[in-house]
């Protein structure tokens, strides 16, 4: 029986390929939507292996093997060269890309910046952005919530990295980053099939200008801050300026600061916007979830905008966000290159094999999740169990997303505030289509009907 008949009410998904594709067809399909090159069996098996253009590859969906890649045998599986080459022109050898000792000291220096205490101190900036988006939606009958969420999360990240206040030409950097992501997104297929890194990538050909713009604006902001000193409530720039590797006492120089701050912006804003957009789409798709969510936020917030004091009091809001991250993981595909021989799920891994972590397929794998395509926030209710390595929207192990708590707090504040003020309904003919361009984006936006709550 086709999936649709078992689950007539499943939210949108990507049609994964049911038969093997040749090299050319893989390239063509990947150009359209990288997710579609994931074979359908990746949602039914623990591991799928193959060979495309002489490159051996494995897609791993088994929690035990994922634990080995991300944690127990981490040194054997650094990020793939192509991921690094793609991002390095924009974000240098920052935390996201660096390996070994150069990664370790940066991670240690940056870790305190993302402590729960610092994020609680930055949360009022998230509330201000939630209030602003609620105000922008006033009087509108419908809106593209993806566009709104990108604006809201960019406001947050630019205010917590460079504290707005004219330091950062927000629009200019925003445009530069958008262009960078758009252009580099088109080549992520090279990553998948592991074309040698010397093959010119469109990102390298187009990349110059937006990247240079981004760096110029960030450098100016850093120099200015060095002169003016820290803000009364320190932002990420202040915290990172003070940040020090507790072991080596090393601090970041201006170029390292800039590369890491740009990393936070690139890694942090669209991913969080996507989480929120897909969560809102899902709430419009399933009205019973939305009503339950509205019940929770009305009780806790009583109509006001959410703030740091509400985190921990909105368990259902958190469940909805976790389930949105399961169904539409913004980083839906992670890739590594094996450095030496190993064994995963009983299969031989050779040096240079491409090891893919198709998070989208992992999150919809039938061996791990009952009715995997159904939207059920209760999967994440207190007491409900799932394997830790079956849900990896933020990765895991030492390279786990440093901004995961930041993103979860931001998503809760903005989602709770929006659901408290508005009712969201679907619009016929405007269903978003999941499409992977580095991140898992809703093609056509997330258009929803809005009705103010009394
Ligand atoms: C919902 C939002 C987010 C998602 C889904 C997400 C996802 C991820 C994933 C999957 C990784 C691991 C990649 C890998 O192992 O190959 C990662 C790493 C990272 N993320 Fe996030 N992220 C989010 C938000 C943020 C935010 C808000 C920031 C910063 C403000 C951030 C900064 C980083 C950095 C610096 C790394 C590299 C960490 C390291 O390698 O030590 N992310 N993220």
pLDDT number for residue 326? 98
What is the Cα–Cα distance from 19 to 16, expressed in whole angstroms? 9
Highest mean pLDDT among 143-152, 205-214, 431-440: 143-152
What is the Cα–Cα distance from 106 to 99, expressed in whole angstroms? 10
> What does R_g of the chain's alpha carbons equal in angstroms?
21
What is the Cα–Cα distance from 63 to 368, expressed in whole angstroms? 9
Highest mean pLDDT among 6-15, 17-26, 405-414: 405-414
- Residue list, ligand 1 pocket, CB within 6 Å: 79, 95-96, 107, 263-264, 267-268, 271-272, 275, 330-331, 334, 393-395, 399, 401-403, 406-407
C-alpha 104 – ligand 1 centre gap (Å): 15
All structural domains of the chain with their residue ranges: 3-452
Ligand 1, closest atom to CA 398?
Answer: 41
Q: Band the pLDDT of 437: cuts 50, 70, 90.
A: low
Question: Contact 96/263 with Cβ under 8 angstroms?
Answer: yes
Instruction: Indicate the angle between helix axes 81-91 and 170-185, nearest 10 degrees.
Output: 160
Cα-flanking dihedrals φ and ψ of residue 164, to 5°?
Answer: 45, -115
Residue minimizing CA distance to atom 41 of ligand 1:
399
Question: Contact 446/426 with Cβ under 8 angstroms?
Answer: no
Among the residues of 69-207, which ranges form H helices?
81-91, 100-110, 116-136, 145-162, 170-185, 188-193, 202-206
- pLDDT tens across 68-95, in order? 999 999 999 998 776 677 677 777 888 9
Average pLDDT, the chain: 84
Mean pLDDT of 15-23: 67
Residue minimizing CA distance to atom 9 of ligand 1:
394
Ligand 1, closest atom to CA 96?
Answer: 37
**pLDDT over 80 at 190, yes or no:** no
Angstrom CA distances, 342 to 59, 74, 100, 351, stand at 15, 12, 20, 8
The CATH architecture assigned to 3-452 reads Orthogonal Bundle (1.10)
Q: Band the pLDDT of 168: cuts 50, 70, 90.
A: very low
Angle at 409 between CA 241 and CA 9, to 5 degrees: 140
- pLDDT tens across 375-398, in order? 999 999 999 999 999 999 999 999
pLDDT number for residue 439? 76
**pLDDT over 60 at 192, yes or no:** no
Question: Contact 264/403 with Cβ under 8 angstroms?
Answer: yes
Q: How many CA atoms lie within 13 A of 176 on its CB side?
A: 22
C-alpha 301 – ligand 1 centre gap (Å): 29
Our mutation pick for probing the ligand 1 site, out of 356, 403, 408, counting the most ligand atoms within 8 A of Cβ, is 403
- pLDDT tens across 249-306, in order? 888 898 899 888 888 887 888 899 999 999 999 999 999 999 999 999 999 999 999 9
């Amino acid at each position: 029986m086709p999936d649709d008949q078992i689950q007539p009410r499943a939210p949108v998904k990507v049609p994964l390929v049911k038969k093997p594709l040749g090299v050319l067809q893989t390239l063509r399909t990947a150009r359209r939507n990288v997710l579609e090159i994931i074979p359908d069996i990746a949602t039914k098996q623990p591991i799928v292996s193959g060979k495309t253009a002489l490159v051996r590859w494995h897609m791993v969906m088994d929690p035990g093997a994922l634990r080995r890649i991300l944690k127990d045998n981490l040194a054997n599986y650094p990020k793939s060269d192509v991921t690094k080459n793609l991002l390095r022109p924009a974000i240098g050898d920052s935390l996201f890309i660096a390996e070994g000792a150069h990664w370790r000291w940066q991670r240690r220096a940056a870790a305190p910046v993302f402590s729960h205490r610092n994020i609680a101190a930055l949360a009022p900036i998230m509330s201000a952005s939630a209030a602003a988006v609620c105000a922008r939606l006033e009087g509108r009958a419908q809106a593209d919530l993806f566009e709104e969420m990108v604006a809201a999360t960019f406001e947050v990240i630019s205010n917590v990295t460079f504290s707005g206040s004219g330091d950062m030409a927000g629009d200019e950097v925003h445009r530069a980053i958008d262009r960078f992501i758009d252009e580099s997104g088109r080549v992520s297929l090279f990553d998948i099939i592991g074309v040698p890194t010397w093959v010119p990538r469109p990102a390298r050909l187009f990349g110059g200008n937006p990247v240079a713009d981004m760096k110029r604006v960030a450098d100016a902001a850093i120099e200015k801050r060095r002169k003016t000193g820290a803000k009364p409530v320190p932002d990420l720039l202040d915290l990172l300026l003070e940040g020090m590797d507790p072991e080596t006492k090393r601090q970041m120089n201006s170029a390292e600061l800039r590369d890491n701050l740009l990393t936070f912006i690139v890694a942090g804003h669209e991913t969080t916007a996507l989480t929120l957009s897909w969560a809102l789409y899902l709430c419009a798709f399933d009205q019973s979830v939305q009503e339950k969510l509205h019940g929770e936020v009305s009780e806790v917030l009583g109509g006001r905008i959410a703030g740091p004091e509400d985190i921990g009091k909105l368990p259902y809001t958190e469940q909805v966000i976790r389930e949105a991250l399961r169904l539409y993981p913004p980083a839906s595909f992670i890739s590594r290159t094996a450095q030496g021989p190993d064994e995963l799920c009983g299969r031989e891994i050779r040096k240079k094999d491409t090891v893919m972590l198709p998070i989208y397929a992992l999150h919809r794998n039938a061996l791990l999740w009952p009715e995997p395509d159904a939207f059920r926030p209760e999967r994440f209710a207190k007491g409900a169990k799932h394997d830790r390595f079956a849900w990896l929207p933020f990765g895991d192990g030492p390279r786990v997303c440093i901004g995961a708590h930041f993103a979860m707090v931001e998503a809760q504040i903005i989602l709770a505030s929006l659901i408290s003020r508005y009712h969201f309904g679907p619009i016929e003919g405007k269903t978003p289509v999941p499409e992977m361009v580095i991140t898992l984006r809703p093609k056509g936006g997330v258009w929803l009907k809005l009705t103010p709550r009394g």
